[in-house]
């Protein structure tokens, strides 16, 4: 098959009759080990060079991956970061929830900047985020904010992520990407959604979908069919495509969105997102068995950040937080919200390393810590006066912990220009070694700035 811009993407095999297990261990997964925004986009961009395809397996337009190529910054939300390499397959797996208008906008924006998007494929089984999901998301958040008793607002991105995943699990009225190409099926599903959600939609007055007011079935279906036609050349059975790719001996890089501590099962529940952000999401979110993943790169910042509500044990509210926020440009890629900032929490990171089976670490934003005399690292919690070095992945328990810190020497130099491990100041290297000793996994990559060239490889 020749795609519109002349790139050769191999055709689908005639059938999946090939038997026997897929080759084990040739693929890589990149996952975030904190609360998102760890710099996974850069890590994926870096590793994509050695892989034939990049596949997203979870999340939606709540994610924001920034990649800087030749001084140009790209902010990606739904399109896998691997798109910045021409002619690689970039796959949006079935585990992603796709806002079709947002992805169409993103694709058009990339094309306008000269990026070859011909390798992009979207799973026909990925679920669709429709305007009413965003309305539901916003209404729930507003209602929770108004009620001071009971559960607190999650501080979601209001991108409709939770409601779209909820519809997927509820099954009655969910829309999948493949439905965008089937007018009758799409209409009957949207009609069912309108029936089931009537009480919610009646009060709709906010959200960033079409302008507020009563939602109408027909215009919504027409809009969705129009964008579906635009995306049609990219919609396919991505599970089959991935299996064919791997069976051919090609390597796939699986790109996790959000962060392990936002995982719906293993994160700081209920202040989590709606998807599986950990490496086990590869299997459910792409249909590729996890045994194909031999390398799990865990991406972590040199400090902690969090957007939205929920516990952040090492949170700072002082000048140090402001300084890190400014130096690290800690403002949301998706929502622009200032991120909450804290010292590095190695108790949390070690937990994420454990549940992901991380084989190597990518440490990002180390340059941001330049100029501090000393740095603090959380190495245990005190819970009800008792010291514990395990991470309790439950928000109410975590809210009550007191972080126990070790103080380590800071480094005064700016390190953004360091090209090798040897060029890093000794105290910066000590900080890196402290991390790997504590979590028991080597730091394979150190990132000292946003550019591709500001990366130190240790493997």
Interface ranges with ligand IMP (CB under 6 A):
35-37, 62-64, 154-157, 159, 161-162, 257-258, 262, 271, 273-274, 307-308
Q: How far is the CB of 325 from ligand IMP (least distance, A)?
A: 14
Phi, psi torsion values for 266, nearest 5 degrees: -105, 0
Query: Which 3 state secondary structure label does DSSP give 380?
Result: strand
Q: What is the DSSP letter of 271?
A: S
Give the bridge partners for 28, in sequence order: 253, 295
Nearer to ligand IMP, 144 or 404 (CB): 144
Nearer to ligand IMP, 271 or 381 (CB): 271
Q: How far is the CB of 204 from ligand IMP (least distance, A)?
A: 18
Q: How far is the CB of 418 from ligand IMP (least distance, A)?
A: 27
Q: Which two tokens stand for residue 92?
A: 């949006």
Q: How far is the CB of 162 from ligand IMP (least distance, A)?
A: 4
Instruction: Indicate which residue of 65, 77, 127, 266 is catalytic.
Output: 65
Cα dihedral 381, 382, 388, 391 in deg (nearest 10): -40
Q: Give dist(CA 171, CA 160) in Å, integer.
A: 16
Nearer to ligand IMP, 273 or 364 (CB): 273
Nearer to ligand IMP, 115 or 307 (CB): 307
Q: Which two tokens stand for residue 445?
A: 């990559």
In 215-368 the beta strands, taken as DSSP E runs, fall at 235-236, 252-255, 293-301, 304-306, 340-342, 344-345, 360-364
Q: How far is the CB of 207 from ligand IMP (least distance, A)?
A: 13
Task: Tally the residues of the chain.
Answer: 459
Q: How far is the CB of 96 from ligand IMP (least distance, A)?
A: 12
Nearer to ligand IMP, 162 or 281 (CB): 162
Give the residue nearest to ligand IMP (CB).
308
Look at the alpha carbons of 55, 57, 61, 64 in this order and tell me if their dihedral is positive or negative.
negative
65 has catalytic annotation: yes
Nearer to ligand IMP, 38 or 444 (CB): 38
Cα dihedral 93, 36, 394, 389 in deg (nearest 10): 120
Q: What is the DSSP letter of 338?
A: B
Query: Which 3 state secondary structure label does DSSP give 438?
Result: helix
Instruction: Indicate which residue of 37, 116, 137, 345 is catalytic.
Output: 37
In sequence order, what are the residues at sequence separation of 6 or more whose Cβ sits closer than 8 angstroms to the Cβ of residue 404? 378, 379, 380, 381, 382, 387
**Which residues are annotated as catalytic?**
37, 65
């Amino acid at each position: 098959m020749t795609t519109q811009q002349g790139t050769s993407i191999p055709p689908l095999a005639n059938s999946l009759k090939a038997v026997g297990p897929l080759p084990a261990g040739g693929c890589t997964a990149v996952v975030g080990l904190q609360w998102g925004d760890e710099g996974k986009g850069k890590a994926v961009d870096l590793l994509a060079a050695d892989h034939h395809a990049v596949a997203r397996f979870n999340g939606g337009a709540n994610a924001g991956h920034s990649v800087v190529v030749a001084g140009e910054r790209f902010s990606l939300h739904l399109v896998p970061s691997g798109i910045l390499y021409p002619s690689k397959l970039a796959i949006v797996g079935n585990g992603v929830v796709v806002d079709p208008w947002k992805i169409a906008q993103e694709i058009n924006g990339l094309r306008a900047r000269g990026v070859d998007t011909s390798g992009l494929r979207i799973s026909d089984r990925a679920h669709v985020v429709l305007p009413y999901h965003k309305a539901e998301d916003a209404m729930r958040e507003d209602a929770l904010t108004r009620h001071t008793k009971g559960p607190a607002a999650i501080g979601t991105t209001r991108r409709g992520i939770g409601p779209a995943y909820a519809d997927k699990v509820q099954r009655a009225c969910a829309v999948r990407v493949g439905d965008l190409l089937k007018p009758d099926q799409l209409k009957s599903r949207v009609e069912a959604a309108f029936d089931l959600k009537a009480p919610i939609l009646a009060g709709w007055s906010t959200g960033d979908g079409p302008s507020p007011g009563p939602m109408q079935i027909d215009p919504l279906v027409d809009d969705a069919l129009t964008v579906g036609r635009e995306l049609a050349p990219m919609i396919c059975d991505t599970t089959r495509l991935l299996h064919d790719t791997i069976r051919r001996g090609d390597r796939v890089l699986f790109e996790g969105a959000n962060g392990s501590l936002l995982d719906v099962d293993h994160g700081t529940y209920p202040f989590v997102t709606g998807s599986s952000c950990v490496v086990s999401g590869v299997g459910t979110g792409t249909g590729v068995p996890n045994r194909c993943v031999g390398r799990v790169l865990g991406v972590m910042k040199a400090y902690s950040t969090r957007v939205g509500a929920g516990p952040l044990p090492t949170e700072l509210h002082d000048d140090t937080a402001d300084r890190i926020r400014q130096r690290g440009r800690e403002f949301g890629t998706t929502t622009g919200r200032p991120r909450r900032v804290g010292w590095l929490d190695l108790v949390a990171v070690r937990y994420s390393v454990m549940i992901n089976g991380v084989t190597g670490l990518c440490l990002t934003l180390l340059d941001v810590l330049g100029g501090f005399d000393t740095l603090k690292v959380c190495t245990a919690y005190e819970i009800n006066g008792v010291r514990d070095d395990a991470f309790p992945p439950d928000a109410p328990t975590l809210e009550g912990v007191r972080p126990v810190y070790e103080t380590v020497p800071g480094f005064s130099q700016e390190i953004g220009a360091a090209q090798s491990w040897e060029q890093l100041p000794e105290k910066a290297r000590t900080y890196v070694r402290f991390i790997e000793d504590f979590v028991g996994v080597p730091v394979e990559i150190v990132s000292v700035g946003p550019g591709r060239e500001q990366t130190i490889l240790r493997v």
